[in-house]
């Protein structure tokens, strides 16, 4: 007897999370004897809690295929963390109630560390309640900090975007430095882990090419050695380009972004570590600066996605469904690297219990001893993740992204406020 | 008798100014009986003043061809404005002296308004001194504010980049708005003219798609109607996306960027109008925001260049040389639109005297009556300029941009300090 499936997107979206959705939906359609309809949660797990389900079976094959090249979260995502089973048992029980009402036997949860934890708890509760449910996590995060997988779908495309942007801006600054801007700072995401900052380093093919300095959240910021390095770069090359993580902190763990003073309304200037660092250079060394804040542009830049990343995002979606069909439970498809050159990888399965609430930081040996750049070891790890292009179709000069109908499934239960 | 030529890049560089250089160099090589070597100024006009010339004849055909897909200024550019002939006659005379010493009979100056003025003055002085020189301006500016040409090479690619970025970020915000960020602000260039801001509006294919609000430098910023519009958008769509020009000002002409308070060092926060506007919304309406500052990323984003723009940039470079060969003087090749749909254009020639020091602002009829978006008339103007893709070659996952040797020509004159 076929059971329905539930799929939800969780947390910050990426340029390729919909490629994972595409993998789930296209694969589920291959097994009509096992999987009936796939319902998606509108705005993630909130859709399950509020019984706000989207019937993906009403979407055309073309629309589903279009998800593979469409950024953002096609069904909506949310930041909503379920706490422990003890604290929020009612919420977990509600999930099971909704699953029961809609004959859902498969739970696919597409997210980062928190989501793997939730998927694991749902699996546990279903077991305790003797509710037949297969719970599978599908990895996703631009931060690349998920445990048990060599890399996280979503990261490779951000990496390609920031490295490309840094290379391009570096050429711009180099050509103007003699009479104009000498300092360029690019602020990137990754509050706790420096993977995206590290990826900026790929822009440099040869020594002394932009970026000249990387500022990682893993390395406490010390102004003096930094300023010395900036001055050296300007002396040697005429300019200095810098990539900085939004999570850059000092030795006491205080965010540098919060040291930039207050705005007109008395708030700390958050999301502006790029400007704080640039202004420090201006004040101490006198150089004119520009800075850029990539913000959401970096994680939604599907137009410059990594083909490797798109393929892996699709593969973990497909593997999740295949694993469920095969009776695996409480696992997450993970990307396992077989070799760097040529790059080869395969899908393996990690126990959700081993993934949940882990955080994979940039290893110290991926950062040069001086703390300001990436090592060759890091390059070997990063390089294959940005390989290949997978441009979306363009119409009238712009990427032609897919919009779904997102039709609601009729509610069967009483209202519930999460 | 063949004469040498001098080519220089001026002012802020673009994603396609090197495509114009490519057009100049490839075309010049077709006329060896007229044009000997093409010397490029290292760092723009400064290269001529300091007799720091680059011998482009030493570059391979492959390297020259690669300029067509390489952003930045391949020979270096500068911000250095020559004032009037009376004020800076010594500088102008020095130019002629350098041209004479290196047997230069053609002056190609690739820049914006100021540069067209300089090219015009050089033409005048050469005439007065009876020095045989043909002076041709080649249009370039991301700001699209050059007179006498339907559009400026460099603008179309920025337009494509900002519209693509806004569409992508809009999808990201839409998927997260229910529980997270409701406001997204993208700050773009264009201090005096709202062309780039207007281009963000192309991201919306249908009514009410991102961007919901555009803030132009031509429209004085009034907080109350703006906040009302933001609140309406959040009510109707759950979120609000905004593109704002760095040059947004209030009714008295004061830059909004300067109203954002001081940083830790007591400086006005410049380049941060995006944050000022976002924080205003947070304070008054309470919505969580994100903002992005595209800065140099937008004008160097060759990876998402408009094919139309690349073709036009090349065409004005080629036309400049062909005009010079044909004996035209003191002109600028301009792009003249023949029709919108299908888009057809041709190269015509404008007198430098008619271009110099003009500034083309966004016409009021390109902005909706409420001041917050673009009209269909504006869309008809903008749409063809972003048509077509022209991706650069990629190697190891990143755009493979060309580096020239930039070998110096031996100096013949005494040192000169500009």
Task: Name the minimum distance, in Å, from the CA of A135 to any CA of chain B.
Answer: 23
In this prediction the pTM is 0.97
b/e code B187-216 from CB counts within 10 Å (16+ = b): bbbbebbbbbbbbbbbbbeeeebbbbbbbb
Q: Kindly state the percentage of chain A with pLDDT values over 90.
A: 89
CB-CB under 8 Å, A259 with B261 = no
CB contact under 8 A, B290 and A295: yes
What is the chain A residue with the closest CA to B170? A72
Tell if the CB–CB gap between A297 and B43 is shorter than 8 Å.
no
DSSP calls for B277-288:
HHHHHHHHH---
pLDDT exceeds cutoff 90 at B136: yes
Choice between B266 and A167, residue whose per-residue pLDDT is larger: A167
How big is chain A by its Cα radius of gyration, in Å? 23
Candidates A13, A15, A175, partner chain B, best to mutate (most B CBs within 10 A): A175
Which pLDDT score, from 0 to 100, does residue B85 have? 86
The angle formed by the CA atoms of residues B257, B260 and B261, to the nearest 5 degrees, is 130
**Nearest residue of chain B to residue A295 (CA atoms):** B292
- Answer yes or no: do A275 and B272 touch at CB < 8 A: yes
Distances (CA, A) of A259 to A250, A279, A285: 10, 11, 19
Task: Read off the pLDDT of residues B357-399 as tens digits, 9 standing for 90 and up.
Answer: 778 999 999 999 999 999 999 999 999 999 999 999 999 999 9
CB-nearest partner of B300 from A171, A260, A301:
A171
What six digits make up the tokens of A327?
């009776």
Per the CB < 8 Å rule, is A175 touching B202? no
Which of A162, A168, A202 is most worth mutating to test chain B (most B CB atoms within 10 A of its CB)? A168
Distance from CA of B132 to the nearest CA of A (A): 30
B46:A176 CB<8 A:
no
Q: What is the pLDDT of residue B406?
A: 98
When CB atoms are compared, the residue of B71, B264, B401 closest to A261 is B264
- What is the set of active-site residues of B? 143
Selecting among A43, A52, A117, A143, the annotated active-site residue is A143
CB contact under 8 A, A263 and B260: yes
Residue A244: pLDDT above 50? Answer: yes
Q: Which residues contact B415 (CB under 8 A, 6 or more apart)?
A: B50
* Chain A nearest C-alpha distance from B105 (Å): 26
What are A274's two structure tokens? 């790029």
Which one of B300, B301, B305, B386 would you mutate to disrupt binding with A, by most A Cβ within 10 Å of its Cβ?
Answer: B300
Cβ-nearest to A292 among B294, B383, B386: B294
Q: Average pLDDT, stretch B147-162?
A: 97
Predicted local distance difference test score (pLDDT) of residue A272: 86
Residues A100, A131 contacting (CB under 8 angstroms): yes
- A110 chain-B contacts, CB cut-off 8 A: none
Check residue B269 and give its pLDDT. Answer: 47
**Which residue of chain A comes nearest to B260, CA vs CA?**
A264
Residues of A in contact with B261 (CB under 8 A): 261-265
pLDDT tens by residue, A49-68 = 999 999 999 999 999 999 99
- Answer yes or no: do A265 and B276 touch at CB < 8 A: no
The mean pLDDT value of chain A amounts to 95
Higher pLDDT, B86 or B15: B15
Which of chain A's residues have a Cβ under 8 Å away from the Cβ of B302? Answer: 168
CB atoms within 10 A of CB B63: 18
Give, in order, the Cα–Cα distances in Å from A24 to each of A103, A385, B212, B307: 18, 22, 33, 36
Percent of chain B exceeding pLDDT 70 equals 97
**Residue A168 with chain B: CB contacts under 8 Å:** 15, 71-72, 296-297, 300-303, 399, 401
Report whether pLDDT(B265) > 70: no
CB-CB under 8 Å, A271 with B164: no
Going by pLDDT thresholds of 50, 70 and 90, the confidence category of residue B258 is confident
Q: Summarize pLDDT for B271-280 with one digit per residue, the tens.
A: 589 999 999 9
Report CB contact under 8 Å: A179, B265: no
pLDDT tens for A283-319 read 999 999 999 999 999 999 999 999 999 999 999 999 9
CB pairs under 8 A between A and B: 247
Report the C-alpha gap between B187 and B195 in whole angstroms.
Answer: 13
- The mean pLDDT value for A400-405 works out to 97
Q: Is the pLDDT of residue B262 over 70?
A: no
Q: Kindly state the average pLDDT of the residues B70-77.
A: 98
Q: Measured between CA atoms, how close is A27 to chain B, in angstroms? A: 24
pLDDT given for residue A95 in this prediction: 95
Nearest residue, CB atoms, B163 vs list A163, A304, A398: A398
- Neighbour-count burial of B75, counting CB atoms closer than 10 A to its CB (0-12 exposed, 13-18 middle, 19+ buried): buried
In B, which residues are within 8 Å of A174 by CB distance? 72, 76
Does the distance separating the beta carbons of B302 and A168 come in below 8 Å? Answer: yes
Asked if pLDDT for residue B270 goes beyond 80, the answer is no
Nearest-by-Cβ selection for A295 from B12, B176, B292: B292
What percent of chain B stands above pLDDT 90? 89
Summarize pLDDT for A66-77 with one digit per residue, the tens.
Answer: 999 999 999 999
Q: What is the mean pLDDT of residues B21-38?
A: 98
- Mean pLDDT for A131-151 is 97
- Written as six digits, the tokens of A212 are 């000249």
Q: Which member of A77, A173, A300 has the closest CB to residue B169?
A: A300
DSSP string, A191-259: SS--HHHHHHGGG-SSTTPSP-EEE-TTS---HHHHHHHHHHHHHHHS-EEEEEETT-B-TTS-BGGGG
Contacts of B260 in chain A (CB under 8 A): 263-264
CB-based contact A306 B397, cutoff 8 Å: yes
Mutating which of B151, B182, B293 best tests the A interface, going by the most A Cβ atoms within 10 A? B293
* B173: closest CA of chain A, how far (Å): 8
Contacts of residue A389 in chain B, CB cutoff 8 Å?
Answer: 391, 394, 397
Which of B43, B151, B176 best probes binding to A when mutated, by most A CB atoms within 10 angstroms? B176
| Whether pLDDT at A112 is above 80 | yes
Give the bridge partners for B357, in sequence order: none
Kindly state the average pLDDT of the residues A218-237. Answer: 97
Cβ contact, residue pair B283, A290, below 8 Å? no
State yes or no: ipTM above 0.95: yes
A184: closest CA of chain B, how far (Å):
9
* Chain A residues in contact with B204 (beta carbon < 8 A): none
Note the pLDDT of residue A269.
Answer: 47
pLDDT on residue B259:
72
List the single residue in B with minimal CA-CA distance to A175. Answer: B76
Q: Report the pLDDT value the prediction gives residue B260, as an integer from 0 to 100.
A: 60
Partner-chain contact B77 A175, CB within 8 Å: yes
pLDDT in tens, A88-106: 899 999 999 999 999 999 9
Residue of chain B minimizing CA distance to A397: B387
Q: Residue A366 pLDDT more than 90?
A: yes
| pLDDT score of B264 | 44
Q: Which residues of A touch B283 (CB under 8 A)?
A: 265
Looking at the DSSP bridge assignments, the partners of residue B410 are none
* CA–CA gap between residue A251 and residue B406 (Å, rounded): 44
How much is the pLDDT for A262?
A: 54
- pLDDT score, position B118: 93
Q: What is the pLDDT of residue B81?
A: 85
Residue B243 tokens, joined: 């593109």
Nearest to B330 by CA among B354, B310, B311: B354
B172 with A13: Cβ contact below 8 A: yes
Which pLDDT value is given to residue A265? 46
Please list the residues that pair with B345 across neighbouring strands. B337
Which residue in B279, B292, B297 is closest to A296 by CB distance?
A: B292
Indicate if the pLDDT at residue A200 is higher than 90: yes
Tell me the average pLDDT across B80-92: 89
Pick the closest to residue A347 from A375, A369, A323, A371 (CA basis): A323
Q: How confident is the model at residue B184 (pLDDT cuts 50, 70, 90)?
A: very high
More reliable by pLDDT, B206 or B17? B17
Q: Do A398 and B79 touch (CB under 8 A)?
A: no
> In the predicted model, is pLDDT for residue B138 greater than 90?
yes
A2 close to A30: Cβ distance less than 8 angstroms: no
Poorest-pLDDT segment among A94-98, A369-373, B257-261: B257-261
Contacts of A263 in chain B (CB under 8 A): 260-261, 269, 275-276, 279
Is A143 among the residues known to form the active site? yes
């Amino acid at each position: 007897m076929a059971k329905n499936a539930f799929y939800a997107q969780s947390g910050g979206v990426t340029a390729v999370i919909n490629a994972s959705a595409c993998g789930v939906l296209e694969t589920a359609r291959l097994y009509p004897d096992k999987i009936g309809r796939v319902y998606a949660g509108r705005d993630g797990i909130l859709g399950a809690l509020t019984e706000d389900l989207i019937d993906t079976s009403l979407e055309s094959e073309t629309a589903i295929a279009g998800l593979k090249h469409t950024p953002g979260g096609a069904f909506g995502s949310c930041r909503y963390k379920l706490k422990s089973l003890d604290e929020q048992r009612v919420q977990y029980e509600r999930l099971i109630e909704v699953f029961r009402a809609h004959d859902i036997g498969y739970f696919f949860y597409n997210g980062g560390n928190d989501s793997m934890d939730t998927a694991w708890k749902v699996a546990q509760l279903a077991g305790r309640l003797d509710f037949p449910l297969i719970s599978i996590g599908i990895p996703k995060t631009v931060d690349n900090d998920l445990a048990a997988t060599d890399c996280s779908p979503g990261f490779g495309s951000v990496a390609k975007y920031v490295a490309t942007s840094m290379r391009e801006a570096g050429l711009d600054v180099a050509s103007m430095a003699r009479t104009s801007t000498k300092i360029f700072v690019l602020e990137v995401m990754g509050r706790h882990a420096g993977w995206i900052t590290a990826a900026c380093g790929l822009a440099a093919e040869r020594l002394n090419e932009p970026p000249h300095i990387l500022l990682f959240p893993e390395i406490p910021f010390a102004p003096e050695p930094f300023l010395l390095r900036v001055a050296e770069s300007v002396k040697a090359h005429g300019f200095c380009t810098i990539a900085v993580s939004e999570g850059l902190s000092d030795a006491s763990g205080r965010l540098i972004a919060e040291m930039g003073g207050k705005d007109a309304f008395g708030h700390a200037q958050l999301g502006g570590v790029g400007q704080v660092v640039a202004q420090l250079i201006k004040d101490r060394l006198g150089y004119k600066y520009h800075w850029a804040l990539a913000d959401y542009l970096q994680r939604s830049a599907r137009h410059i996605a990594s083909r490797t990343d798109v393929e892996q995002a699709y593969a973990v979606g497909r593997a999740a469904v295949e694993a469920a069909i095969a009776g695996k439970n409480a696992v997450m498809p993970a990307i396992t690297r077989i070799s760097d050159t040529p790059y080869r990888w395969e899908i393996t399965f990690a126990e959700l219990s081993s993934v949940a609430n882990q955080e994979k930081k940039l290893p110290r040996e991926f950062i040069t001893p001086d703390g300001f750049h990436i090592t060759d070891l890091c390059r070997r790890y990063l390089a294959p993740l940005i390989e290949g292009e997978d441009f979306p179709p363009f119409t009238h000069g712009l990427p032609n992204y897919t919009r779904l109908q997102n039709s609601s499934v009729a509610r069967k239960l009483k209202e519930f406020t999460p």
